[in-house]
Every structure is written in structure tokens, then in C-alpha cells.
Structure 1
Amino acid sequence: MPDERRPRLGRSAQAAHTMPSTFALSLSKWALDVATKVVKADVRLHHADIVRDDLAIVFVVNHFTRLETLLLPYVLYKHTGREVMGLAAAELFQGRIGRFLQSTGTISTAAPDRDKIIVHSLLKGDHPWMIFPEGGMIKDKKVIDHKGEFAVYNNGQRRPPHKGAAVLALRAEFYRRKIECLYHRPGQEGLQAALEKFELDSAEEVLGRRTVIVPVNITYFPIRAHDNVLLRMATRFAEDLSQRAIEELSVEGTLLSEDTDIDITLGDPIEMDEYLNLPEYASLMACGARDLDDLEMDPSSLFNEAARQLMLRYMREIYELTTVNYDHLFASLLRHLIFSRFDERSLRERAFLCAHHLRRLGVRRVHSLLERTYR
């Protein structure tokens, strides 16, 4: 989770991290264009029209494979023309790969000014950002605990998803509202000090935009584990691969094949104003600049409850965007029938009834194969 108790970001640090090299961006796009010739999967982006220039967007995405960190920014750029920035694991920032990641605007999860860089970028609306609230790849597909609450497995225990994306988005919109208020104040008292605090050249840079969180779901179908090109290449160059790595590559490698469909669905933008306009924040949202210093000392605690509620909302919406497919039906049936005797025919009949029930419920996000079968 983002740690926001940080010193103010300096100009040099900001420039080093937020201004990606044009050459590097072009090179990364070229590399990804080449990669698409290798990736045979059918990648489908839904609801892309919600990406607009007047929105400063934080995409919150479910995380099943390493593939998402490259696939989603490329697909969004291809369909919307917006260059999506993101975070990468600290261990990747070494040598040439690390320098390349930095040049494209990617930030290390261990960067001391990570959160301030993201907030500054959201204020200006430079780039959308992509954050995985689960904090790691969810291999067991279990995101809800026995109490019905969101929880993911991490370091030997289950914990709630991170609410850092919520804190950052709320914080950016709070600052935007403050600057807008000072801008329209008679004599613009306090405006210049606020602009200097956030290293902005003018108020116009932040006005006319809104900070939103967009839930994103990535669904793969089918998910199968077997030998593939990626696994063979990995075992050839690294003979000491762990059993876990082999298992992961046996799945992730097949997701790139022509037999796989990848549905990427963008949800409706969640407006930060819905939370900042709550009665408990009325005094804080009053037009004044002095409280900005207090907020900078401990930005996460002020919005802690709002961020928690926002996290629960976007986690729920991420998984409500799932594209339901045959794997979901059969996995659910087997889970409920695990202690029952059944034959193939009865399983097929139950699957048919499940699909029929989905149609009656009006579930819209259904895989095309399931849609064609039960039209």
C-alpha cells in the first residue's frame, strides 16, 4: 500500500520519473507491436469510450498473470491513444531493463517519491495510471474470505486489498478542488503558494478535469496448463526453474495462444466528488489553503474511511465486470457437487440450466461462445 508520509517532491525527481523519453516510448510501442505478432490470443476491449481527455484516470485492475502489466497499457494505447503509466516491482529496476522502465515513465514500487509523482501527474492529467489493488498475482482466484469480505492471500496470510489507489485519487481531487477554489477567490489569495507547493506552472493545468477511478476486469478463457513455447524457452535458458515457476509458465504461456480469448472490460468511472462531498468533509473542503500543510503531513489518515469504502466499491465492481464463461459454470458446479455422485449427462444438464438462469437474470457480460450456445 502506498506510504504517503514523504518529503515534498523536488523538480529534479519529478522530471526524472514523470517525463518518459519519446524515443523509449516509441521503442516500447514498437516492441509491443512485434509482440502482438507473437500473441495469437483474441484480445477484446469493451467500453473503451469512457476514456476521455477531461478525466484524470486511475485504472484499478484484477491481477492474475504477469501479462497484464504489459498487455493492458498497450491495448488501451492502441484503442484510445492514451499512454498509461504504472508501477513495477522494485527488483526489475536493475541494469538495462531498469533504465528502460524508468525512461518509459514506469515507477518502482520502492521509489521514495512514488505517491507524490502519481498525484502530481493526476493533477495535470498527463497520463492515466494503472494500479493492481490486490498487490500481487492472485493465482488461487480467491478474493473473498469465509466472512464474505474481500481478502487476498499474501505472505502466508489473508489481508484486505490495498486502498492506496483510493487514497491517491481522493488526494489528487482534493488538491484540484482546493486550487480551483483559490483560483476563483477574490484576489486569488493563497493560489500562488498552492501552485508552488504542487510544482505547477498555472492553475489552468488542473482546472477542467476530474479525478476518477475506473474498475477494470480481465477475463481469460479457457485457462489450461500445458506445454507451450514460453515454457520451453524458459526451461532452455534457465534449467533451475522452480516448480512454482514451471506451473505459472505452463498457464501463462497458453494464454498467449490463438485458442485463448482475453476480455478486457472497463467499468463506469467512479467520481471522487461522491466521497469528498460527504457531510463529514464539509469543513475540510471549505476554501482555504492553510490546511494543505496539515494534509501533507498525514494524507492517508484523513481519507482513511472514505478510501476504505471506495476500495470495497471498486473491488466489487472489478469482479462484477467478469465475462462469465464455461469455466466459471463448470468450476462452480464441481465445487458444489464435490461430495455428490453425478454422471456426465447430469453435469451437462446442470450447466445448461445455469446458462439458462444467467440469461433470465439478464447477465450482460457473457463470453461469446456461451452467448452463441444459449441464444
Structure 2
Amino acid sequence: MVEQAAKGQSRQGKRRRVLLLLACLFLTLGAAAFVYHPIWGQFEESTDDAYVNGHLIELHAQVPGVVTVIDADDTQLVHEGGPLLELDATDAKVHLQQAEASYRIVAAEVNRQCLEIVSDTAATLQKQAQLQAARDDLARRLPLAHSPSMADEELAHARDAVRIAEETLKETQEQAAAAHARVVSCDPEHQPSLQQARAAYVAAYLSLERTRIKAPVSGMVARRHVQVGQQVSPGDSLMSIVPLDSLWVDANLKESQLRHVRIGQKAKVVSDLYGSQVVYPAVVEGVAAGSGSAFSLLPPQNAVGNWIKVVQRVAVRLRLDKAVLEQHPLRVGLSTLVTIDTHDRDGSLQGIKAQPGDDSTTIVYAQQLDRAEKAADRLQLAQAHRR
């Protein structure tokens, strides 16, 4: 009996010690939570309703044609200016040859008209000299009009010569004026008909260039819609490109969490893909203009009798560090955990002024126009050497 009583007291002592330790643990945790919030917790806003987002650049056909070559497929990386696909260029080549022939015809006609201007100018000078000679001859004969040595018939012939020379000069000048009216300038840079023919040639060259579709930006191909042999028309969707080097995170914060969020604040992003081993430094880049429900396809109608308040969420865009993003690539739509440091509350919640950067420009289409202009310059120079 004594041993059993001793064992019972021992068990009760252990139970008291365990309960005491648990009570101390809960008290410590409560005290830590009580101290953490006013010192550190109030300067952090976090959410796991955050997802990776990026630009989805859709490519559309600019000219009609049949797909003959596909150079890039889904999940493949492409570089800016790299080939994506090609369309049958037979019609485009024929149109370019027609435009070149039309330019040569117009250039030859303008050259002929310019030669006519030169010829008419020389003829005008010649007729002016003839008129002056006839007038001089008449002037020499007029003082001898009443002299027996000057016959009336000779004087009449001299007057007729002046009249005929004046009429001939007037006719030549009218022809020269008409020739000048047809040709604004013999300089190709200022002749409208040549400029029109050149513009038609540049347009035909661009149509040929656009049969070779190139990537406007670097990224990964997604959602390819076309197949070899498929007929496409201008505006048809071909494929999409996602630039993986310019991704961001949309953190959907509750409206009550936006109170101390400011543009420029630092943040940390942890993705489910890599876990807590990889932390992406980020910066608050902007706050959406409205809640997600306000921009939904069917916005809520709150002017009803059975209205129930629902806490709204607003997307906060976080710009990721490109160096870390390059080392640990992400994909659009991945889940993340976001923690924003709100210590610095001097910034603004308003959006920053739009400033186009390197991620929002492409030189691919400007290069196409540049090649077309250079080809037109070569054609113009070759035609000038034939004069």
C-alpha cells in the first residue's frame, strides 16, 4: 500500500511539472506575440494570395499567306529578332517585282520629261535669239523705209519675220511651260510621281518582309495556334511570347492591409516552387486602380436588400530583382508568399508617371522599315545611273 501511494504521488508530481511547463510555454508565446506586434508585426503586411504575372505578347499575321515553316514551338526560348515562322512569299515577291517595274517606268517617264524640259529650254533660247536677230534686221531697215534703195517688199518681209519669230517664241514658251507643269522637279526627292512609286515599292518590300515573322521580344513561346499548311489572314492569332526576364508578382492584399503600403517599399517573395530556400527581393511598384471584383466580367450589384459585406482585395504589383529571377526562373501563375516591409511610410499610394523603358519597346519592325528604305534607295540610285 505504501509503495502504491508513493507511485501515485510521483505520477501527480510529474503531471504538475508537465502542466507547469505547458503553462509557462503558453505564457511565453503569448508574451512574445504581445510584444512582437507593436515592435515588428505592425510594420509588415503579408499574404499568400499572391501570384507571378507577366506580359503575354500575342503575335498576329500582318499579311495573308500559307504557313510554310515553323521555327519555334511551345516551351522554346526565342530571342528578339529571331525567326518564328514563315509564310509563302510567292505573291509578295511578284508584287515587289511589279512595284519595281512600276518605279522604273515612272522614273523613265520623268527622265524623258526632264529631257523635254532641257530641249524646250534650249529651243526657247534659240527662238529668242532668232527674234532678236529679226528685230535687229527690222531696226536697220526702218531708217531706209523712204529711201529709193529700200523696196517696200523687203521692209514687209522684215516685219513678217519679226511677227513670225514672236509667234514661234510664244509657242515654244507654252510648250516649255507645259513640260514644267508635268514635272515638279527632276530631283527624285521632290518629284511626287517618283515618291508615289517609291512608297509603293517600300510597301511591297514590307509585305515581303512580313512573310518572315520574327520575335518582337525575347521570351518563351506559348499557345501556338498555327500549323504548317494553314492559311492565315491579317489579324489571325499565331502564337504568344512571355518575356520571363520581366515577370512581377501581384499580391492581393485586403483593403485593411493597404493602409500603410506605399510605392517603393521593400518586400520579400517566397515561391512555392523553390520554398523558403530562395527569397526574391522585391519593391512595391504600384497599386491597382480598383479591387478585383470591380474589374470582373460581372461586377457585383450591391444595391439590393440582402446585401452582405465582403472584404475586398486589391492587387499590389511587386517588381522582382532581375538577378535573382535569372538565377531562379519563375513561370506565370505560380503561387507565392509575400511580405511587405512598411517601415518607410513616406511614399505615395498614387501611381507613378508612365515612363516607357527597355521592356516596352522593340526594334524589329523599325528594322524591317529600314531594310525597305535601303532597298528603295538602291533602286533609286541604280535608276539614276542609267540616265
TM-score scaled by structure 2? Answer: 0.18
TM-score, scaled to structure 1: 0.18
Instruction: Answer with 1 or 2: which has the greater Rg.
Output: 2
